[in-house]
Amino acid sequence: MLFALATGKAGPRVAYLHGLFGQGRNWMQIAKAVSGPDGTDTRALLLDLPNHGRSSWTEEFSFHQYAEQVIETLDTGAPGESWTLVGHSLGGKTAMVAALERPDIIERLCVVDIAPKNYGSLHRFSGYVEEMQRLPLDEISTRADAEEKFEESDPGVKAFLLQNLRRDGQSWRWQANIQQVADDIAGEARMGDWPVGPGDYTPYPNPVLWITGGESEYVTDEDGEPMRELFPLARQVTVKGAGHWVHTESPDIVVAALRRFIL
């Protein structure tokens, strides 16, 4: 079972999956906004993926294992119910695998700025991982200390990464399994891979909303064909001016698109 935050008391069930170094709560603003003031509502779960937030760690990384834990959490939380599954980046790949495995309970899928392909090594994240590993946790007494000692120069990136820092009694620790990410960068690069081969699954038969950033490098024109081979009902919405973090850069557009798709 994954740790989850819930919001909303009526309407369609929606689950949100974050990206690398994120947490379910990162989607709270979007989830609440999708439940608008016109009487509509959704029952949302904001999940912490394995090795993130308050969910447990795994010995090895596997998209299939991630997807299985998502499905188990949804099945346990609402047996026999159908869900819309929304996933960004790492969470988007997890959501795609979960939908292919269980289209009977995932009636709609929203993939945010990621494609079903191998991205290779996550070496582009190595600087962040090294910064997090260098932070002297035994020298920190307050969160202000952590902010001062953390070497990241971009305020937004610093705040995002430091949300993973948690205090246990008098000591601090990282909630995210940083060592697993470091090992993946140096080793087999499973996090950047796409674990689905030709013929592994029947194409997903249900509606798919594919939200991409117009300025993002994560999705290209060439990704459309392999996406629609697995998800033939996919409808792409490209948000002009947005990068990879579409839902934080253009939240109003993402909320409007999700409302049209879900409600």
Write down the pLDDT at residue 172: 95
Same domain, 55 and 182: no
Same domain, 16 and 92: yes
Region 114-131: mean pLDDT is 94
For the segment 173-204, what is each residue's pLDDT rounded down to a tens digit? 999 999 999 999 998 789 999 999 999 999 99
Q: Are residues 100 and 153 in the same domain?
A: no
pLDDT tens by residue, 5-42: 999 989 999 999 999 999 999 999 999 999 876 667 99
pLDDT for position 39: 64
Report the SS3 class of residue 145: helix
Considering the domain architecture, whether residues 9 and 87 belong to the same structural domain is answered as yes
Task: Name the domain count of the chain.
Answer: 2
Task: Quote the pLDDT of residue 158.
Answer: 95
Which letter does DSSP use for residue 137 in this model? G
Handedness of CA 7, 12, 13, 15 (dihedral sign): negative
Residues 228 and 110 in one domain: yes
**Pair (77, 163) in one structural domain:** no
Of 8, 4, 9, whose CA–CA distance to 24 is shortest? 4
Average pLDDT value over all residues in the chain: 95
**Band of pLDDT at residue 3, cut at 50, 70 and 90:** very high
Q: Do 127 and 48 fall within a single domain?
A: no
Looking at the fold, whether 138 and 248 belong to one and the same domain comes out as no
What pLDDT score does 37 carry?
A: 66
CA dihedral 244, 247, 251, 254 (to 10 degrees): 100
Q: Which of these three, 165, 186, 207, is where a domain ends? A: 186
| Shared-domain flag, residues 167 and 227 | no
* Per-residue pLDDT, 188: 79
For residue 177, the model assigns a pLDDT of 97
**Structural domain that includes position 210:** 4-120+194-262
Q: What is the pLDDT of residue 40?
A: 76
Q: For the chain, how long is the longest CA-to-CA vector?
A: 53
Instruction: Name the band, by pLDDT with cuts 50, 70 and 90, for residue 76.
Output: very high
Q: Quick one: 249 and 179 in the same domain?
A: no
Label residue 221 by pLDDT band (50, 70, 90). very high
| CATH code, domain carrying 207 | 3.40.50.1820
Same domain, residue pair 115 and 136: no
User: What pLDDT is recorded for position 163?
Assistant: 96
Token pair of 52 as six digits: 């993130």
Predicted pLDDT of residue 168: 86
Q: Supply the pLDDT for residue 81.
A: 96
Instruction: State which of 186, 210, 227 marks the end of a domain.
Output: 186
Task: Pick 84 or 40 by higher pLDDT.
Answer: 84
Percentage of the chain lying above the pLDDT 70 cut? 99
The pLDDT value recorded for residue 38 is: 66
142 pLDDT tier (thresholds 50, 70, 90) = very high
Here the tokens at position 260 are 């049209």
Asked if the model's pLDDT at residue 137 lies above 70, the reply is: yes
The residue out of 186, 207, 227 marking a domain boundary is 186
The answer to whether residues 71 and 165 belong to one domain is no
